[in-house]
Copies of this chain bind each other. A is one copy, B any other.
Amino acid sequence: MTELRRRLVEFARARGWQPYHTPKNLAAALSVEASELVEIFQWLTPEESARVMDDPDRAHRVRDEVADVLAYLLQFCAVLDIDPLTALAAKIDRNEKRFPVPEAGPVTDSPT
């Protein structure tokens, strides 16, 4: 991930795009790409959504949007000097305390 982040930062620098890459703009771009991922699924049933990778064209589109989301997330983190893996590890630690596993085993209460 560090190497991909370096390539993304260099990619933007070489094209003179840094002035556009404010945290505000990158957060908006991230949300736009996340919505493009939602768009692929918007009319699918839950069952159809589980089989989305069976169609090669759609599978390519899904991977492409995943890449876009991750790209903007890494660029956002780069401009604000955030380590997303450290942030996520801390969040999982907090959530493991906040949502203890029920002693009787898995339940099916809705996630938050």
Q: In the complex, are the beta carbons of A106 and B14 less than 8 A apart?
A: yes
Given contacts A31-B31, A91-B71, contact A66 B38 (CB under 8 A): no
The chain B residue sitting closest to A101, CB to CB, is: B14
B-binding residues in A (CB < 8 A): 1, 4, 7-8, 11-17, 19-25, 27-32, 34-46, 49-50, 52-53, 62-64, 66-71, 73-74, 76-77, 79-82, 84-85, 87-92, 95-96, 99, 101-102, 105-111
How many copies of this chain sit in the oligomeric assembly?
4
Chain B CB count within 10 A is highest, among A21, A35, A82, A110, for: A35
CA distance A52 to B84 in the complex (A): 16
Chain B CB count within 10 A is highest, among A34, A36, A38, A69, for: A34
CA distance A102 to B43 in the complex (A): 20
Q: In the complex, are the beta carbons of A106 and B66 less than 8 A apart?
A: no
15 examples of A-B residue contacts, CB within 8 angstroms:
A4-B89, A8-B92, A14-B101, A19-B108, A22-B50, A23-B50, A24-B46, A25-B42, A28-B42, A34-B35, A35-B35, A37-B76, A62-B80, A67-B88, A69-B73
